[in-house]
Amino acid sequence: PEKDGLIHGVAAAELQAICTTALDARSGAYCPYSLFRVGAALLLHKEDAEGKKVLKGANIENASYPVGTCAERVAMGAAVFAGHKLGSFKAVGVATDMTEFCSPCGMCRQFLREFLSLDTPIFMFNKEGKFIVRTMGEILPLSFGPDVLPPKE
């Protein structure tokens, strides 16, 4: 939903940054098996210690297909390792080389769910930068996260 010139709370300049970053991130993909490049971008609520506002990743495949990992998990794995967590992320973007809009796979939706609030927007860009957008809660309804299987700490 748009409001005050924002899309799900994301300003035009931020959306442009997500789009550019996700499209650029595709070049970091290692995908000799699928030949399907995917780029992911994570918009932070505020700049991190290194002055970065948007983090990124791409798919890294493996000769044993199930062992490879997707763009969204490479990006989010590194982001969480760097200290970001639930509450840090304002939006997510994914981009492919297709004309159609491609959504995160179910495994990535589950991985993202651990660190995003349900109203966080996920922008899905085609190769030209056009997009559709859904919230985390919309693409993984009835989901469970850290709240359901209580941590043991």
Beta bridge partners of 56: 41
Contact between 127 and its own copies (CB under 8 A)? no
Residues composing the chain: 153
One-letter identity of residue 8: H
Q: Which is nearer to its own copies, 9 or 137 (CB)?
A: 137
Beta bridge partners of 94: 40, 124
Query: Which pairing describes strands 89-96 and 121-125: parallel, antiparallel, or unpaired?
Result: parallel
| 19 touches, from its own copies, Zn ion, none (C-beta below 5 to 8 Å by class) | none
| 100 touches, from Zn ion, its own copies, none (C-beta below 5 to 8 Å by class) | its own copies
Binding mask 76-95 for its own copies (x = CB under 8 A): xxx-xxxx-x----------
Is 22:125 a contact under the CB 8 Å cutoff?
Answer: yes
Residues 6+ apart with CB under 8 A from 109: 136, 139, 140, 143
Size of the site for its own copies (CB under 8 A): 63
| Catalytic residue, candidates 72, 114, 128, 138 | 72
- Spatial distance between the Cα atoms of 95 and 130, rounded to a whole number of angstroms: 10
72 is catalytic: yes
Catalytic positions are 72
Give contact residues for its own copies (rule: CB under 8 A): 25, 28-30, 32-36, 56-58, 60-70, 73-74, 76-78, 80-83, 85, 100-103, 105-111, 113-114, 124, 132, 134, 138-146, 148-149, 151-153
